[in-house]
Amino acid sequence: MSDNHGNTPAAWTAVGVGLLGFVVGGVALMLTPVSMAMFWVGCAIGVSALVIFFVMAKMGLHTSDH
């Protein structure tokens, strides 16, 4: 298992952005009528969390500062 166990700026940022994507998508599905455009924006935000994670990891922000 990794020494930092996910407690890095890259990991926390990706989790936060991914959570935002799920919230946006979930709210879109609860609207009447369902807002599919807002749902797909939520999906795009969720996918961007992966991109943000890999970019931040390449920048060296996926290492722990002990």
Residue 64 lies in a domain: no
Is residue 26 one of the residues assigned to a domain?
yes
39: amino acid identity, one letter: F
In order, the DSSP letters of 1-38 are: --SSTT-SHHHHHHHHHHHHHHHHHHHHHHSSS--HHH
Token pair for residue 9?
């700026």
4 assigned to some structural domain: no
Range of the structural domain that residue 53 is part of: 9-58
User: Per the domain annotation, does 25 fall within a domain?
Assistant: yes
In a domain, 16, yes or no: yes
pTM: 0.85
Q: Let me know if residue 65 belongs to a domain.
A: no
Domain total in the chain:
1
Q: How do the pLDDT tens digits run along the chain, 66 residues long? A: 456 566 899 999 999 999 999 999 999 999 999 999 999 999 999 999 999 999 999 999 888 664
Would you say residue 28 lies in a domain?
yes
